[in-house]
A = this chain, B = another copy of it.
Amino acid sequence: MIRHTVAFRLVHPAGSAEETGFLTSARELATIPGVERFEQLAQTSAKNDFAFGFSMEFADAAAYDAYNQHPVHVAFVRDRWVPEVADFLELDYVPLD
């Protein structure tokens, strides 16, 4: 299992309609084949500047690669992520043991 996560903040004001629009749009990522346990999260620690997180799991690297190349993901990155995300950090995790 690979857990793909990204912490981010938007260019939009907190609580704005644009913020809601971005989050709503991102839900279509959950429909891409291979995406499991898709979560939209508020980032609440004061020790960093990120406001949100997404988390999703893939069975293996092939499923993760297919997601990255899927037209819905490619279009989302191009049309929403790049223009609307001010900063982000991707972290991918595989359970130890």
Contact = CB atoms under 8 A, between A and B. Distances in A.
Interface of A: 2-3, 7, 23, 39-45, 47-48, 50, 52-53, 55, 89-97
Identical chains in the assembly: 2
Contacts of A45: 90-92
A38 to B, nearest CB: 11
B41 A7 contact: no
Interface centre among A43, A90, A96 (most CB of B within 10 A): A96
Contact of A96 (B40, B50, B97): B40
A97 B91 CA distance: 23
A92 B47 CA distance: 9
Nearest to A39: B95
B40 A97 contact: yes
